[in-house]
Structure 1
Amino acid sequence: MLPPVFPLRWEHGTDRLDGLRDVLALRAEELLGGDGLGRIRRCAGPGCGWFFVDRSRSGSRRWCSSRDCGKRDRARRHYARTRQRG
């Protein structure tokens, strides 16, 4: 029996990959249909191209991953500073 509440929601199982397309479509709909759309950012890392949802309080996140693109960017800026001094 269907619940009498709208909107109806499809519940997916986690034991099979058959419904992966459906799960991804539902997650995309939740993201794009809600408040998250304004928080989608493109990574500032040169050549990265990944997108991410900026969930930081200030909304100022710059990289898809601080450990990857952020670390490379910080290293690049450090190298540029030390090279200018020498």
Structure 2
Amino acid sequence: MTIVTDEIGYGRYAQATLLSNPLQEIRTEPLCSAANPQPCSRGTIVGYRRYWNASGYQGGNFNFTVYPSNGGGSVRSASITIQ
């Protein structure tokens, strides 16, 4: 299973867990156009699409966390339950 996240804005140290186990990021694509995020090879980058390896899992609580890029601000986190 592969889990895909779209991150609009700039952060660093993106992390994902499934059932509290860290997942490996297997690919990252830059995104353009905040209104309809699409992978792009040029243009203004507004965020990133990240692909996470969840092989061996059937589902559970998925958590995605990104830390602020400038050291200020707050940590952003989102969780969903995958069934």
Larger RCO, structure (CA 8 Å, separation 6 or more): 2
Larger CA Rg, structure 1 vs 2 = 1
Which structure is higher in helix share?
Answer: 1
Which structure is higher in strand share?
Answer: 2
Scaled by the length of structure 2, what TM-score is found? Answer: 0.24
Scaled by the length of structure 1, what TM-score is found? Answer: 0.24
